[in-house]
Structure 1
Amino acid sequence: MNLQFKELQKEDIKEVILLINEAYRGEKKDKAWTTESHILDGIRVNENMMEEILEEKETKTYIAKVDNKIVGTIQAKLDGESIHIGLFAVDTKSQASGIGKKLLEFAENSSSKLWQKSTFLIEVISTRTELMQYYIRRGYQNTNSFIEFPKSEHWTPNTNEELKLLVLKKTI
């Protein structure tokens, strides 16, 4: 597997939107263990959102490519004394192949070097225990700190559960 990492460019946006929306909101029947479709309806990102992200200062969005096809994406954003990790997605057909682990390590190492920070934060929907376990295996720790789930015109909860985000933290 010829895995390469690079920064997101404008010409990558459409392909990345498809990847993110499929990974986050794809049907559970597609066996994407990262899907939130059983919790949320709607899209995760659109073209305007991605273009705004691309223009944000102190934000780096990286993509992973195999054979010139985008198979993963992740965002690192400077947030005070820490780096916030988000928009982390791997193509549903490429999950469980090690791409996510390598992409996360790349984003952590690159952004830590760039901004001279060693603390990372990531937020996970508190009911997504399998996702929390993934990050714990990658060195993140449960902070037992919760934040309100963001509201958006682009998605709506489809569950009666109260949605909260659990903050996970890692220091390298």
Structure 2
Amino acid sequence: MTGTATSLSLRPAGPQDVPRIVEIVEAAYRGEGGWTTESSLVGGARTHAGEVQALLGDPDVDLVVAAPGEDPSAPVLGCCYTSRDGDRAEFGLFAVDPAAQSGGIGRALLEEQVRRCAERGVCVLEIHVLQSRPELHAWYERHGFVPTGQTIPFAGRDEDLKVPGLGMDVMERDLTAS
């Protein structure tokens, strides 16, 4: 599978996308391919169909997918969501198919969510990044996020951690700055 940001269709996810979203997220975070894998740090499932379906039903969540070209039946290559809470939003479930990574799809998804959030009056976009992933921290910093110095507990099950005590670093992007 290949794709570039210049030939992407970015659209709201629908129920038909749930199986592919789960597949991409699992491959990106728990698989052995791609630079975003956390398989050496975390085991277990990253998401499941019920969680993704619940996101689709939440009015505060905007789940977006990327697919090549304009064909609505084209396979989804990536996804991400924002969950709004007033003038802030959390950015998450951010994944690109490992076979399509490094082609600008992630950047396109992030910037689409930034645009959508700004249109809805969101001032700050927050992300929680797994510790011990300096390459991910650096990517987010290159895309406007700054570390807050705040750390929160791992969002999943403690028994899935292969590194006991691993937490999440909070990073934020100011959407009011030009």
Please name the residue that 2:122 is paired with: 117
Please name the residue that 1:168 is paired with: 171
Cα distance, 1:138–1:117 mapped onto 2, change above 3 Å: same
TM-score normalised to structure 2 length: 0.88
Structure 2 matches for 1:56-67, cutoff 5 A?
A: 56-67=58-69
Cα distance, 1:40–1:81 mapped onto 2, change above 3 Å: same
Pick aligned residue for 1:144 from 149, 152, 167 = 149
Once residues 36 and 97 of structure 1 are traced to their aligned partners in structure 2, the CA distance between those partners, rounded to angstroms, is 20
Is contact 2:10–2:109 with CA below 8 Å preserved after alignment? yes
Once residues 104 and 143 of structure 1 are traced to their aligned partners in structure 2, the CA distance between those partners, rounded to angstroms, is 19
Identity fraction in percent = 27
Once residues 87 and 14 of structure 2 are traced to their aligned partners in structure 1, the CA distance between those partners, rounded to angstroms, is 26
Pick aligned residue for 2:14 from 3, 9, 18 = 9
Question: Is residue 2:156 matched to residue 1:158?
Answer: no
Deviation at 1:118, TM superposition (A): 2.0
Structure 2 matches for 1:1-172, cutoff 5 A?
A: 1=4, 2-27=7-32, 30=33, 32-67=34-69, 68-113=74-119, 115-152=120-157, 156-160=160-164, 162-172=165-175
Is contact 2:77–2:97 with CA below 8 Å preserved after alignment? yes
- The aligned amino acid for 1:140 is F
- Give 4+ residue runs of structure 1 displaced > 2 Å after superposition: 150-153
- The aligned amino acid for 1:170 is R
Once residues 51 and 35 of structure 1 are traced to their aligned partners in structure 2, the CA distance between those partners, rounded to angstroms, is 23
Root-mean-square deviation (Å): 1.4
SS at 2:47 equivalent: coil
Once residues 33 and 15 of structure 1 are traced to their aligned partners in structure 2, the CA distance between those partners, rounded to angstroms, is 19
Deviation at 1:33, TM superposition (A): 0.8
1 or 2, which has the higher strand percentage?
Answer: 1
Unmatched tracts of structure 2, length 5 or more: none
Once residues 86 and 153 of structure 2 are traced to their aligned partners in structure 1, the CA distance between those partners, rounded to angstroms, is 20
Deviation at 1:56, TM superposition (A): 1.2
Cα distance, 1:110–1:40 mapped onto 2, change above 3 Å: same
Unmatched tracts of structure 1, length 5 or more: none
